[in-house]
């Protein structure tokens, strides 16, 4: 079957502009009407170290970064060394030469195009523009739309100064000439676009920020941490325009305390952080549970623990998200599959926090954080906003009143007759401290009891496939996109495989898991990017299913072929 997509990988050193070049290709393809999915990985250092950017574009929907590349463009010798084992017959290799810092050996069956990137940039007296020489050559070789490329280039560099824009456009043209001078012998080129429709191209982090603004947020407080910082960056730019407030706190503990304070004052509030920040916030999440103050938090997971691998992908905060609290502290935990989800589920997370008056944690991850994808432009009218149950001013106000749905009305400070104590101490219905006995039991049952309807409030878990299957694959987070493609490939080979893609991680929709596993004869595979197989652990502890755990932890996402191979092994 002819390949419908094109995967271009760029590799070089931090500081060489690999990320910008990749962003330009992705934006140009998206603007021209293609579906785009990108993946980048870079070191924790600001300058130096191996940097990689992969763009997958297609006229059809793409769900992940793909298995490997069709075209690899190496900016330096290190990038070549890191990727030379992937230069297989049929692939194309564009590299900095002659005049680069390496002399590659071209394997048989690989098409190589040398482009003197460094030499050309030096001749133009602008070392910085090496990436633009490469971009011009790639544009010529693979038909990447010159018009849209120049548009996005101009948009980016104009803000840096006319001289910078000019030397970059010049370098692009030089690169284009170099590309055109080569005899093209491969068949790869960017697909013919369809009607672009009303789409935007944004990263997972920007999409979380957009969801916050679309979700009617009033207040955001955060402390910067890789890979979550861009969520706050987006909110800082857009929330104040809507009358909201963003505060950069002095640390994560202060930021979650400010979120609770603003939420107590009646404002929809949230924060965004990564694993170490979530760990610091855990004491105050207990306060949110006990005092029933709505609190929404996005955790953009990274390789942990501690400083770990801050710029690398991992899905290893499920344990802390679900059970990382002192005492019996129920909360709602959800996860996102892709950039579109980052918008939609941020709105949903804010709504659930308001409805259930408890901590709600949304798990994103390092790969999604920086992945740019095409998504339909969101329309404000597509979203519903839930506001907390508020006291209607009649009768005696009891902040922790026992109700049928275990959710008590709240009352903004200053409301006449609504004086109450919002407290981290155990309490009675009025909020007065109680250190045990019947009130303790009633209140703890209330805090757990109100979450019994969460499953019914959320969309049912998506089941990919119908009828019975020989194997079921359960995936969460950005691994879902990889599994979607793997399931399709396995089915194309005649194998009976289904997928199950939970987004509500806790409370666990146990009945839905059981029904899925039953339809797959109990044969369940759970691939996830953490060492312990954290979802597999919860499946074992909460259901009767005995899953086969498939954990990986090298700081990279799965590829569809890894899932295909493992599935065949299991089958």
Q: Would you tell me which residues interact with ligand COA (CB under 6 A)?
A: 14-20, 42, 44, 46, 51, 128-129, 131-132, 164, 168, 226, 310-311
Of residues 92, 14, 90, the one with CA closest to residue 53: 14
Contact 312, 555 (CB under 8 A): yes
The rounded distance, in Å, linking the Cα atoms of 145 and 163 is: 24
Other CB atoms within 10 A of residue 409 CB = 17
Of residues 252, 335, 323, the one with CA closest to residue 286: 323
Q: Which residues contact 139 (CB under 8 A, 6 or more apart)?
A: 145, 146, 149, 172, 175, 176, 179
Other CB atoms within 10 A of residue 325 CB = 18
Q: Which residues contact 95 (CB under 8 A, 6 or more apart)?
A: 73, 74, 80, 102, 104, 112, 113, 114, 115
Q: Which residues contact 200 (CB under 8 A, 6 or more apart)?
A: 374, 375, 376, 377
Q: Which helix (H) or strand (E) holds 110?
A: none
Measure Cα distances from 290 to 49, 294, 358, 387, 447 in Å: 46, 11, 8, 20, 8
What is the β-pairing status of strands 295-301 and 504-506?
Answer: unpaired
The rounded distance, in Å, linking the Cα atoms of 397 and 555 is: 51
**How crowded is the C-beta side of 74, counted as CA atoms within 13 Å?**
27
Cα–Cα–Cα angle for 190, 193, 198, nearest 5°? Answer: 130
**How crowded is the C-beta side of 322, counted as CA atoms within 13 Å?**
15
The rounded distance, in Å, linking the Cα atoms of 47 and 291 is: 45
Q: Over the Cα atoms of the chain, what is R_g?
A: 26
264: preceding bond cis by omega (within 30 degrees) = no
Q: Which residues contact 2 (CB under 8 A, 6 or more apart)?
A: none
Cα–Cα–Cα angle for 533, 275, 308, nearest 5°? Answer: 80
Q: Which helix (H) or strand (E) holds 499?
A: strand 497-501
């Amino acid at each position: 079957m002819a390949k419908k997509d094109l995967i271009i990988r760029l590799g070089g050193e931090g500081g060489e502009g690999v990320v910008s070049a990749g962003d330009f290709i992705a934006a140009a393809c998206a603007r021209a009407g293609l579906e785009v999915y990108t993946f980048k990985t870079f070191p924790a250092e600001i300058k130096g170290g191996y940097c990689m950017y992969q763009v997958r574009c297609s006229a059809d929907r793409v769900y992940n970064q793909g298995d490997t590349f069709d075209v690899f463009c190496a900016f330096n010798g290190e990038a070549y060394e890191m990727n030379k084992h992937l230069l297989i017959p049929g692939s194309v290799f564009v590299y900095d030469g002659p005049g680069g810092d390496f002399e590659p050996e071209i394997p048989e069956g690989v098409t190589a195009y040398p482009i003197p990137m460094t030499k050309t940039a030096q001749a133009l007296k602008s070392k910085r523009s090496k990436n633009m020489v490469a971009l011009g050559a790639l544009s010529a070789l693979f038909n990447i739309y010159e018009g849209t490329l120049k548009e996005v280039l101009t948009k980016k560099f104009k803000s840096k100064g006319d001289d910078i824009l000019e030397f970059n456009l010049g370098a692009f043209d030089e690169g284009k000439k170099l590309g055109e001078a080569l005899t093209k012998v491969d068949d790869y080129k960017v697909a013919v676009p369809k009607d672009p429709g009303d789409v935007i191209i944004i990263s997972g982090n920007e999409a979380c920020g957009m969801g916050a603004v679309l979700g009617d947020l009033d207040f955001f407080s955060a402390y910067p941490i890789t890979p979550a910082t861009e969520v706050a960056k987006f909110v800082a730019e857009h929330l104040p325009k809507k009358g909201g407030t963003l505060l950069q706190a002095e640390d994560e503990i202060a930021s979650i305390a400010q979120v609770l304070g603003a939420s107590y004052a009646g404002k929809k509030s949230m924060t965004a952080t990564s694993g170490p920040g979530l760990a610091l916030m855990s004491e105050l999440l207990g306060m949110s549970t006990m005092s029933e103050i709505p609190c929404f938090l996005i955790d953009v997971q990274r390789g942990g623990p501690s400083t770990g691998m801050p710029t690398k992908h991992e899905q290893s905060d499920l344990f802390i998200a679900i059970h990382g609290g002192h005492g019996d502290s129920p909360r709602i935990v959800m996860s996102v599959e892709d950039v579109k989800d980052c918008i939609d589920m941020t709105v949903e997370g804010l709504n659930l926090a308001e409805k259930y008056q408890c901590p709600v944690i949304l798990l994103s991850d390092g790969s999604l954080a920086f992945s740019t994808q095409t998504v339909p432009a969101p329309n404000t009218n597509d979203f519903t906003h839930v506001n907390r149950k508020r006291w209607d001013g009649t009768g005696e106000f009891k902040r922790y009143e026992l109700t049928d749905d275990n959710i008590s009305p709240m009352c903004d400070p200053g409301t006449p007759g609504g004086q109450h104590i919002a407290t981290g101490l155990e309490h009675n219905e009025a909020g007065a401290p109680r250190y045990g006995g019947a009130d303790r039991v009633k209140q703890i049952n209330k805090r757990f009891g109100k979450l019994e309807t969460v499953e019914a409030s959320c969309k049912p878990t998506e089941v990919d496939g119908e009828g019975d299957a020989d194997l079921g694959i359960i995936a969460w987070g950005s691994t879902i996109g990889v599994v979607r493609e793997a399931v399709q490939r396995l089915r194309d080979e005649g194998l009976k495989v289904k997928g199950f893609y939970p987004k509500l991680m806790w409370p666990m929709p146990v009945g839905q898991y059981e029904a899925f596993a039953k339809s797959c004869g109990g044969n369940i595979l759970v691939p996830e990017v953490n060492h312990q197989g954290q979802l597999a652990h919860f499946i074992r502890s909460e259901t009767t299913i005995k899953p086969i755990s498939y954990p990986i932890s090298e700081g990279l996402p799965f590829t569809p072929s890894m899932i295909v191979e493992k599935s065949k092994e299991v089958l």
